């Protein structure tokens, strides 16, 4: 069994075949969390999860790249998060890619609101962080509250990884580990703090590109991430699958 802790079958890339892709994953022993990026995709993630008794959960949140086009409505997201299938607030955080950098201050305000929501509902947080690790580390270390969660699609340095791990956070790894040199971080990160994910439809693992429909990633391909981590850690695929699944169940209280 495998657990894809960060999928987006709730996105338009799967408009025609989301249920087919989802069922294919479940049939092959892959559970998943579909993660929201706006209210609309968060709502869709919840609706998808509620149709499945087992194997599918949701996270709700406003992604930092969308803070200019959507105002964060605390009460609306809170109501959505009350579903028993919602296991996290996410994905939330900071994105300082040049085209989004103008909204830095707004991103910080919205992040603070969503951290408050997670604390009120006692939910872990799925963090998105691009080109902004120092600021996110500073915000979290100064927050004064014990935040549970995962830094998804981690691509930072070992020094930054240590900061997050020191706060008790998990690190999420996906297909980008086939493109960037993250072996040091993977080797040094305690196995009990590693989660695996796809971030589908994005970041298709290189071994799966030939199989992917128009290059589109899907939860089933999380097995390639597990295989790569097993190789780097010099452990069996079975062991990595078991431990990362246990980690996901523990963090998200599943």
**Dist CA 57 CA 226 (whole Å):** 20
For the chain, how many helices (H) and strands (E)? Answer: 9, 8
Domain spans in the chain, listed from the N-terminal domain onward: 2-251
- Alpha-carbon distance values, 245 to 119, 123, 132, 136, 253 (Å): 24, 18, 28, 26, 12
CATH of domain 2-251: 3.20.20.140
Kindly report the pTM of this predicted structure.
0.97
* Each residue's pLDDT tens digit, 63-112: 999 999 999 999 999 999 999 999 999 999 999 999 998 899 999 999 99
CA distance linking residue 249 with residue 151, whole number of Å: 16
Residues 6+ apart with CB under 8 A from 4: 25, 30, 31, 32, 33, 196, 197, 198, 200, 219, 222
Q: Quote the pLDDT of residue 65.
A: 97
Per-residue pLDDT of the chain (254 residues; tens, 9 = 90+): 999 999 999 999 999 999 999 999 999 999 999 999 999 999 999 999 999 999 999 999 999 999 999 999 999 999 999 999 999 999 999 999 999 988 999 999 999 999 999 999 999 999 999 999 999 999 999 987 789 999 999 999 999 999 999 999 999 999 999 999 999 999 999 999 999 999 999 999 998 877 777 689 999 999 999 999 999 999 999 999 999 999 999 999 99
| Res 146: pLDDT | 84
Sheet holding 194-196, edge to edge: 2-7, 30-35, 56-60, 86-95, 125-130, 149-151, 170-173, 194-196
Total residue length of the chain: 254
**Predicted local distance difference test score (pLDDT) of residue 155:** 98
Enter the DSSP assignment of 131.
Answer: S
């Amino acid at each position: 069994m495998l657990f894809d802790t960060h999928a987006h079958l709730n996105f338009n890339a799967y408009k025609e075949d989301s249920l087919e892709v989802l069922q294919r994953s479940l049939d092959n022993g892959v559970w998943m969390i579909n993660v929201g990026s706006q209210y609309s995709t968060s709502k869709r993630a919840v609706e998808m999860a509620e149709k499945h008794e087992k194997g599918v959960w949701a996270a709700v949140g406003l992604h930092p790249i969308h803070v200019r086009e959507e105002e964060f409505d605390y009460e609306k997201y809170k109501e959505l998060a009350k579903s028993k299938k919602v296991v996290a607030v996410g994905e939330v955080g900071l994105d300082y890619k040049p085209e989004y950098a103008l909204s830095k201050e707004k991103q910080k305000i919205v992040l603070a609101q969503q951290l408050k929501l997670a604390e009120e509902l006692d939910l872990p947080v799925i963090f998105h962080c691009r080109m902004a690790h120092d600021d996110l580390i500073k915000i979290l270390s100064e927050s004064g509250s014990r935040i549970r969660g995962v830094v998804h699609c981690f691509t930072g340095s070992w020094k930054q990884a240590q900061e997050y791990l020191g706060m008790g956070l998990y690190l999420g790894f996906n297909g980008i580990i086939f493109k960037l040199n993250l072996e040091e971080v993977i080797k040094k990160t305690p196995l009990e703090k590693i989660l695996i994910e796809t971030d589908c439809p994005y970041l298709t693992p290189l071994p799966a590109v030939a199989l992917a429909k128009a290059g589109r990633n899907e939860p089933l391909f999380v097995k390639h991430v597990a295989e790569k981590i097993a190789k780097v850690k010099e452990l069996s695929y079975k062991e990595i699958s078991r431990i990362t699944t246990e980690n996901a169940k523990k963090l998200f209280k599943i």
